[in-house]
Amino acid sequence: MKNLRVKALDHYHSFTSAYSSIFFIQSPTLGLAFAVATFLYPNIALSGFVGLISSYFFMKIFQVHSSSHCKIGILCNSLLVSLFIGHLFILDKIVGVLIFLASCFTFLLTLFLDSLFQKNKLPVLSLPFTLVAMMIGLSTHKFTNFQDASPYFFEHSLTWIQIESSPFQSFILSFFRSLGSIFCIPDPLLGAILSLAVLRQSIFSFIFMLTGFSFGYWIENLFLLVSNNSIATHFLNYSLIFPALASVFIKPSGFSLILSMIGIFICSLSTTAFLTLESLWGTPITALPFNLIVLLLLRVVQLTQPLKISNHYKRTPEEAIDHTRLYRLRHRSGEIGLFCPFEGEWIVQQSFDGDWTHKGAWRYALDFVIQDQNQKSYTHQGFELTDYFAFGKPILAPADGTVVSFCSNIPDNPIGRIENQTNWGNYIILRLSLAPQVYVILAHLKQNSMTVCLGEFVQAGKILAQCGNSGYSQEPHLHLQCQLSAWVGDYSLPFHLLNYLSHPKTKQQTQPQVHFHEVPMKGMKICSVPPNLELGRVLSFRIGDKLRFKHLSLQKEHEFELQVFLDEIRGTLYLSDGNGRLYFGKIGTQFYFEGFEGNKNSILSQLFISAPSIPMTYGIQAYYEDFLPLRITETKLMHWVKILKTLLLSNSEKNQGAKYKIDSITLEIQGKLNLNGRKTKTQLKLDPILGIQYFSVGEKKYSRINHLKNELTKKG
């Protein structure tokens, strides 16, 4: 019975997502509202339903998995084709057969185009629908035994034209008509209903669609590109282009807004050309300009600025903006993350834009030395290389990669001398496994200290060589930088260090600080976060694992069960309470919750808030900073304000994260943050056997139900 309920729920979500995805929104509620709204025209609504059933049939025949990334694309395009046919013909048995055949062709075309586009990581969009609709449009004069349904819309168009007494009314009715046209129903009444539904779900979706339409409408009227805007339906292309480029396929930012404007201008020109062909051939252009312009601009951005492409499809623009914000603040998106390339405590002698050599195209680099309590890097008089603490210390691989180049035969400079001919001295260059286009160079190494060979694959933490004083080096130190080629001394790239510990420098800072994704500043004494293997083991959740908690704050005890699932599309694990999702992952000694979907007051959101990151370490007491989604932490008003601020001013939230303190001896994490305008304390307790044992956010407290024997039995 439970399996039937799960399958029915999955079909319901797929059905409704096919409707809502047309507006780039993932919401079953909104999709259901769209489906119901189309029944203003039962003939079209029923045609769409027949198309969806047909698509399900073909997906079953060809065994397309329910979690396939192209599932929604298949359903969405088949739905649009069916709605288009319902717009043209009165639904009967023969038209039903046509819908069935068109859905089959759309299904095959979607899979075919998806296989081609995936090579360049481009979306199929509604291109299959557009091509099939144009094909059907060219064939309409051949369907002599079909009853034409289109005159009804022309009559209604004339009715709306008659009441348009001002340019503003014409603008509003054309906008509503453009939204209705997306569902192949060019009726302003339906468009008004759809706009209200979108506005209730996502303010930014509505704003983006209205902005795109406004620019397209203004351009066409300015240049008189279209003689009669009153009955035109091609404006749907403008309403779709802006949200697609502003927040769906490009990371939301000022750049994405400018790109959306460019797309609208180009679309106005291409639309005029396509409308000329439409008048000659009698085939509707539907969403052809939208598909071509979006695919064109996406490909250009991929080739020129690939880091601006969005890799995660979020439910609304607000979530996309917040996700981009979180990734930038928590993971420094667009940069390479490296582990500390040494053991023990080292000092950052030079950071980015250094005082001496890290300038211009080589500004993104770090120099490290070792100093004692008196901030001296040597003992005795410092006349000999062996007097320096860093000399001869092991240098580790900062990431998994392959040795593509190295030099080891340059003598180390005696103190007081500098080699100007071979600036980099002895070095090793690694090509990173996670980013094969990026290379890491470790320079000024000790002569003949290499422990690796050319072409060897090394894992992060492997000893590569020893610290030396070769090349342009005044004293033994390590130089670290990222670059785009294996050429020694190529221009540097932005990067940051992962999971390091900085020690107090001032009297106000009495405890060390854990940094997960940051660039250490000059003068910082840093080291790797010591790993706690036991804690790492209990936080290694597997698919199917179940965590049961009880709510301690309620008078009547209430239990929750969280289960681990795999998101097959994203390839990441998540915890689910049956309604929402809490994604998680690991990087080195950092366990972190990546993203949250669901009710902001659910147990999943409380777990996220209590400790968005968990340092898997031992023997230290340290504090750290982290960031949370705005929709969880902010009031509705501040949520919209900060979303807009984030979109326009991407770096506006520096040093405004939640503060957490970990005691890795007692395995307890305490936090302080502003939650919905109130200062709130959080707590999370870990157990070396159970993992997460207890957590609280304010007055809400949750405790793990200890079925230890059963859990240990299941884990073997």
58-95 confidence digits (pLDDT tens): 888 888 766 566 788 899 999 999 999 998 888 888 88
Of residues 149 and 397, more confidence is placed in: 397
Q: What value does the mean pLDDT take over residues 617-628?
A: 91
Q: Same domain for 365 and 406?
A: yes
Last residue of a domain, one of 129, 149, 169: 149
Tell me, yes or no, whether 302 lies in a domain: yes
Give every CB contact of residue 283 below 8 A, 6+ residues apart in sequence.
Answer: 134, 137, 138, 277
Tell me, yes or no, whether 124 lies in a domain: yes
- The region of weakest confidence among 4-8, 181-185, 574-578 is 4-8
Instruction: Write out pLDDT tens, residues 360-374.
Output: 888 999 999 999 888
Calpha distance 582→587 (Å, rounded): 17
Residue 713 confidence class, pLDDT cut points 50, 70, 90: very low
Q: Same domain for 21 and 99?
A: yes
Structure tokens at 132: 């099939």
Tell me, yes or no, whether 522 lies in a domain: no
Tell me, yes or no, whether 639 lies in a domain: yes
Q: Same domain for 457 and 349?
A: yes
Residue 501 has pLDDT above 90, yes or no: yes
Q: Same domain for 625 and 697?
A: yes
Instruction: Write out pLDDT tens, residues 116-128.
Output: 998 888 999 999 9
Q: How many domains does the chain have?
A: 4
Q: Quick check: 310 and 244 in contact, CB under 8 A?
A: no
Q: How far apart are the first and last CA of the chain?
A: 30
Tell me, yes or no, whether 527 lies in a domain: no
Tell me, yes or no, whether 427 lies in a domain: yes
What is the bridge-based pairing of β-strands 495-502 and 336-339? parallel
Q: Give residue 246's Cα distance to chain centre.
A: 14
Q: Same domain for 248 and 111?
A: no
Last residue of a domain, one of 470, 493, 516: 493
Calpha distance 128→114 (Å, rounded): 10
Of residues 99 and 14, more confidence is placed in: 99
The amino acid present at 3, given as its one-letter code, is: N
- The region of weakest confidence among 450-454, 495-499, 563-567 is 563-567
Average per-residue pLDDT for the chain: 86
User: 674: domain range?
Assistant: 533-714
Q: Same domain for 19 and 98?
A: yes
**CATH number (domain holding residue 463):** 2.70.70.10
Q: Same domain for 7 and 121?
A: yes
Residue 162 has pLDDT above 90, yes or no: no
pLDDT of residue 639: 81
pLDDT of residue 11: 73
Calpha distance 138→206 (Å, rounded): 33
Tell me, yes or no, whether 383 lies in a domain: yes
Tell me, yes or no, whether 327 lies in a domain: no
Q: Same domain for 417 and 551?
A: no
Q: What value does the mean pLDDT take over residues 523-552?
A: 91
Residue 677 has pLDDT above 70, yes or no: yes
CA distances from 191 to 178, 196, 220 (A): 7, 9, 21
Residue 50 confidence class, pLDDT cut points 50, 70, 90: very high
- The region of weakest confidence among 8-22, 288-302, 699-713 is 699-713
